[in-house]
Structure 1
Amino acid sequence: MATKDHEKGLLDLLFSIEGLFLLIILAFRLGFVREISLQLSPDEAYYWDWSRELSWGYYSKPPMVAWLIAAFTRFLGVSEYAVRVPAVLCGLGFLVIFYRLTHRLFGRLPARWALFAAALVPIFTVFGLLMTIDPPLLFFWTAALYWGWLAAEKNRRFHWLSLGIFCGLGLLTKQTMLAFGFFYGLWLLAFRRELLRTPGPWLALVVALVLWAPNLYWMATHQWITLRHTEHHFREQGLNPAGPLRFLAEQAGVFTPLLFGLFLWVSLEMLRRRNWRAEPRLTYLWALSAWPYLAVLPLSFFRRVNANWPMPFFVAGLGLAAGVIFSLRGTRWPRILRGLYALGLLLAFLGTALVYQLPRFPEKFPRPLAGLLFRFYGWKELASVVRKYRRPGEVILTDNRYFASELAFYLPDHPRVYQFPVLNPPRSQYHLWGLPSHLGGRPVLWVGRHPSPPSTAFLKLTSGKIPLPGGRFLSYHIFRGTLTPSVPGP
Structure 2
Amino acid sequence: MSQTADPARAAWRAALAITLALTVVRLVALFVTPLELYPDEAQYWLWSRTLDFGYFSKPPMVAWGIWATTALGGDSEPFVRLSAPLFQAAAALFVFLIGRRLYGPQTGLAACALYLLTPGVQLSAAVVATDAALLCFLSGALAAYVFLPQTDGSRRLVAAAGAGALLGLAFLSKYAAVYALIGVALHLVADREARKVWSPPTVAAALGALLLVLAPNLVWNAAHGFSTVQHTAANANWAAAELFNPGELLDYLASQFGVFGPIPFAVLAGGGVVMALRRRLTRQDLLLLCFAAPPMIIVAVQALISRANANWAAAGYAAGVVLVAAWLLRWRARGWFIGALATQGVVAALFLAFVLSPELADRMGMANAFKRAKGWSQLTEALTDRAMHDLSLDAVAVDDRFMFNAAAYYGRDYFARPDAAPLRMWVRTAHPQNQAEVEAPLAGTEGGRVLAISVEPDFTPEMKADFRSVSDTEIVNVRLDSERSRRAELFLAEGYERRPRDPLTGLPTPP
Q: Aligned equivalents of 2:225 and 2:21: distance in 1?
A: 46
Q: Percent identity?
A: 26
Counterpart of 1:231 in structure 2 is: 233
Q: Aligned equivalents of 1:161 and 1:222: distance in 2?
A: 29
Q: How much is the aligned-residue C-alpha RMSD, in angstroms? A: 2.7
Q: Does 1:317 align with 2:336?
A: no
Deviations 1:226-254 (A, max 9, x none): 12111122223421234433222110112
Counterpart of 1:462 in structure 2 is: 474
Deviations 1:335-382 (A, max 9, x none): 4x2211211111101111121122333344457521111100001111
Counterpart of 1:476 in structure 2 is: 488
Q: Aligned equivalents of 1:275 and 1:486: distance in 2?
A: 66
Q: CA deviation at 1:270?
A: 3.4
Q: Decide whether the 8 Å contact of 1:440 with 1:486 is kept in 2.
A: no
Out of 384, 397, 412, the residue aligned to residue 381 of structure 2 is 384
Which residues of structure 1 form unaligned runs of 5+?
329-333
Q: Does 1:165 align with 2:170?
A: no
Q: Aligned equivalents of 2:6 and 2:234: distance in 1?
A: 43
Deviations 1:154-209 (A, max 9, x none): 25001011011111111111110111112212212321223344321332123212
Q: CA deviation at 1:424?
A: 4.7
Q: CA deviation at 1:83?
A: 0.4
Deviations 1:427-456 (A, max 9, x none): 111122144879536643212214334414
Q: CA deviation at 1:152?
A: 4.1
- Give TM-score, length-normalised by structure 1: 0.89
Q: Aligned equivalents of 2:488 and 2:377: distance in 1?
A: 13
Counterpart of 1:339 in structure 2 is: 335
Alignment of 1:365-444 (within 5 A): 365=361, 368-391=365-388, 394=393, 395-413=395-413, 415=415, 417-421=423-427, 423-435=429-441, 440=446, 443-444=449-450
Counterpart of 1:133 in structure 2 is: 130
Q: Decide whether the 8 Å contact of 2:264 with 2:340 is kept in 1.
A: yes
Out of 210, 222, 226, the residue aligned to residue 208 of structure 1 is 210
For 1:74, the aligned partner's letter is A
Counterpart of 1:331 in structure 2 is: none
2:197 counterpart SS class: helix
2:170 counterpart SS class: helix
Q: Aligned equivalents of 2:169 and 2:25: distance in 1?
A: 28
For 2:342, the aligned partner's letter is L
Q: Aligned equivalents of 2:217 and 2:387: distance in 1?
A: 38
Alignment of 1:253-402 (within 5 A): 253-277=258-282, 279=283, 281-326=284-329, 328=330, 334-335=331-332, 337-365=333-361, 368-391=365-388, 394=393, 395-402=395-402
Counterpart of 2:90 in structure 1 is: 93
For 2:196, the aligned partner's letter is E
Q: CA deviation at 1:221?
A: 2.0
Q: Does 1:446 align with 2:452?
A: yes
Alignment of 1:35-114 (within 5 A): 35-114=32-111
Q: Decide whether the 8 Å contact of 1:254 with 1:307 is kept in 2.
A: yes
Q: Which moved more, 1:343-352 or 1:241-250?
A: 241-250
Q: Aligned equivalents of 1:268 and 1:221: distance in 2?
A: 45
Q: Decide whether the 8 Å contact of 2:32 with 2:356 is kept in 1.
A: no
- Give TM-score, length-normalised by structure 2: 0.86
Q: 1:260 to 1:15 in 2, by over 3 A?
A: closer
1:274 counterpart SS class: coil
For 1:401, the aligned partner's letter is R
Q: Aligned equivalents of 1:305 and 1:472: distance in 2?
A: 26
2:134 counterpart SS class: helix
Q: Aligned equivalents of 1:276 and 1:6: distance in 2?
A: 28
Q: 1:447 to 1:441 in 2, by over 3 A?
A: closer
1:57 counterpart SS class: coil
Q: Decide whether the 8 Å contact of 2:397 with 2:426 is kept in 1.
A: yes
Which residues of structure 2 form unaligned runs of 5+?
416-421, 500-511
